[in-house]
């Protein structure tokens, strides 16, 4: 990540995912399908929003901006999804509208010393 990346440089599917995280603000996206390294919204992922009592549960202000520079966690999330190729992101943990952690299931292969990620 040498050059800053803007939202306008993303594909429609990537931009939709970034906006979804910003609207959730805190929570999780579960069972996000990935095809050819891009998020797919059919079937729709499961969305879980964490509401904080007495707190501001509104979407991030950036959600309505047409363009802005992406923060490092967003770029890293999109790179991990691209590297997955075809599969499923089991969960994206969202904090402050940004991907905080991803859960990705990897196939395993047998090896003489035991099991390895493929």
pLDDT tens track for 78-108: 999 999 999 999 999 999 999 999 999 876 6
Q: Is residue 1 part of a domain?
A: no
Give tens-digit pLDDT for 17-37.
999 999 999 999 999 999 999
Domain that holds residue 71: 7-117
C-alpha to C-alpha distance for 17 and 29, rounded to whole angstroms: 10
C-alpha to C-alpha distance for 35 and 79, rounded to whole angstroms: 13
pLDDT of 108 reads 67
Q: Is residue 2 part of a domain?
A: no
Number of domains the chain is built from: 1
Q: Is residue 60 part of a domain?
A: yes
Assigned token pair, 46 = 């499961």
C-alpha to C-alpha distance for 86 and 37, rounded to whole angstroms: 6
For residues 112 and 58, the model is more confident at 58
pLDDT of 3 reads 67
């Amino acid at each position: 990540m040498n050059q800053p990346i803007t939202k306008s440089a993303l594909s429609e599917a990537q931009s939709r995912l970034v906006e979804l995280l910003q609207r959730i603000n805190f929570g999780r996206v579960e069972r996000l399908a990935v095809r050819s390294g891009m998020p797919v919204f059919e079937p729709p992922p499961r969305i879980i929003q964490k509401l904080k009592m007495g707190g501001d549960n509104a979407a991030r202000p950036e959600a309505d901006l047409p363009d802005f520079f992406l923060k490092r966690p967003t770029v890293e999330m999109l790179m991990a999804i691209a590297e997955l190729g075809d599969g499923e992101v089991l969960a994206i943990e969202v904090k402050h509208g940004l991907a905080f952690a991803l859960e990705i299931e990897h196939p395993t292969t047998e090896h003489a010393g035991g099991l390895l990620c493929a």
